[in-house]
A and B are shown apart, each in its own frame.
Chain A
Amino acid sequence: MNPIFKHGPSPQHRLMLVLFCSASLIFFDHKMNSFENIRGYLQSMVSPLQYLATTPKQVMTWAAENIVTRRQLLSDNQAYKVAELRFHQQLLALEIIKKENERLRLLLASPIRGEVKKMVAEIISVDSDPYSQQVVINRGSDDGVFEGQPVIDDEGIVGQVLHVGINSSRVILITDVTHAVPVRVSRNGVRLVASGTGQIDRLTHNFVQHSTDVRTGDLLVTSGLGDKYPEGYPVARVTKVSQNDANAFALVQSEPVAKIDRLRYLLLLWPEKAAEIFAPSQKVVTPNLRDSKKSENNTGLNNVDT
């Protein structure tokens, strides 16, 4: 029954109430970051919806994987065998190089890099929000996922964990507007910061001096500065360098090497905390190794790792 006389507050009062609540939510969430824990709970609360929403896609994938011809399977198998042979051969060489690297690092009294713990995660939902670039993965605090954890795919860095729920968590991608990765050019060690642009195929580098030695096609790898990402993983390849003297800084753009638009399986990394034990020796050694190269671009390093 529709009442003739309305009960309760008028729409204006309700609107005022909701507007006030949302304004304070925005303020506390965005400016004060006071919802970090609550977001974890909210994330685990809505994860059933996310699992439900991804069901049709999983059915399609299941069908696509199960309905294949015998010929297809045979040719796939052949390809995997060839690839395995090649990787195995590379692994043999890698073992030797690893040993050699360990010996050299010992000689320099710098810490040996051990194996990093990894875990495979699957993407259960991609954001339909055009303003942020995030994905949700099927691992949460039950699997030991923590906030700020680096996430990679088979090609390079993908992003880092933003909010952790119980059995799902949210990953912010490197192309998000609010995200930046400290990188260096693998060719010569020049340090840069790769900031997201909100576009899936483009990263931008601010505050690059005109004299910086960056060329189109350079591979950018993580520099390990900022203590979020482990060192040496590929991030992007430079696509555009425009050194126009009319601007204060050079315009440098790059394209992520990870296939950000077709992610499916991701790897979560547990970087080890060796820094405490070896901190003094590391401080002495690292400047000689890398930082003797040009050290431009110190300005941008403060706002890294949002």
Chain B
Amino acid sequence: MSIRNLLIIIFTTVIALIASIMPLPPSIDVFRPDWVLVVLVYWCLALPARVNVITAGFVGLLLDVLLGSILGVHTMAMAIAVYIIAGNFQKIRNFSVWQQSLIVGVLSALYHLIVFWMQRFLIDAVFLPSYLYPVITTIVLWPWAFLLLRKVRRHFRIT
């Protein structure tokens, strides 16, 4: 893989990280989609040999630092979510975009539940239904992100 391809993957991930910490009004904030998860899942589906569980763990750690949560919480959740994709990428690739978006929705729900379970275990957080609102927006986001990232990948011939 050339340096340029690597830079493009890093660039899309950084954009996703920025989008996930961008200040928003509180009423919209609860619906913030999982940008980072969507981007990582796309790259893992497209290039499972490049973007993998360890990449996901590293990006999750960055997210931990950016969000100020306990180090390791998002690392773990992100790694588990991407592990499921890495194990089944050949099946998921053949699904239509709508089926994929449902799968990403389930993954996003799992991701949020893992984060919640960790927080529950560590600081006795209380479950609120609003913790799962991002699942809805992530399902809506997936087809658009998928098409855009595929265009980027084909345009720059990233393999």
Contact = CB atoms under 8 A, between A and B. Distances in A.
Contacts of A177: 123-125
A292 interface: no
A67 interface: no
A19 B22 contact: no
B128 A132 contact: no
A18 B62 contact: no
A109 interface: no
B83 A11 contact: yes
A106 interface: no
B22 A53 contact: yes
A128 B73 contact: no
Given A6-B49, A178-B123, A130 B130 contact: yes
Contacts of B21: 49-50, 53, 125, 127-128
Contacts of B123: 131, 177-178
A57 B57 contact: no
Contacts, number: 130
A30 B128 contact: no
Contact of A19 (B17, B23, B76, B130): B76
Q: Of B19, B23, B60, which is in contact with the most chain A CB atoms at under 10 Å from its CB? A: B23
A198 B83 contact: no
Interface stretch (A21-29, A152-160, A219-227, A234-242): A21-29
A18 B57 contact: yes
A3 interface: yes
Interface residues of A, number: 50
A39 B71 CA distance: 9
A162 B75 contact: no
Contacts of B57: 18, 21-22
Interface string A1-28: 1110011000100110111011111100
B6 interface: no
Nearest to B26: A261
A278 B20 CA distance: 49
B108 interface: no
Contacts of B130: 130
A163 B65 CA distance: 11
B24 interface: yes
Q: Of B52, B71, B116, which is in contact with the most chain A CB atoms at under 10 Å from its CB? A: B71
A14 B54 contact: yes
A129 B71 contact: no
Contacts of B32: 128
Interface in B76-105: 76, 79-80, 83, 86-87
A46 interface: yes
Contacts of A170: 68
A35 interface: yes
A43 B71 CA distance: 12
Interface in A128-157: 128-132, 134, 136
Nearest to B21: A53
Given A130-B128, A130-B130, A131-B123, A21 B75 contact: yes
Nearest to A15: B83
Nearest to A30: B70
A42 B54 contact: no
B126 A198 contact: yes
A129 B125 CA distance: 12
B119 interface: yes
A162 to B, nearest CB: 7
Contacts of A30: 70, 122
Contact of B125 (A3, A131, A136): A131
12 contacts: A11-B83, A14-B54, A15-B83, A18-B57, A22-B60, A23-B72, A25-B71, A26-B76, A30-B70, A43-B65, A125-B23, A131-B115
Given A46-B65, A50-B66, A54-B22, 8 more contacts: A18-B76, A19-B79, A22-B60, A25-B61, A25-B75, A30-B70, A128-B20, A130-B130
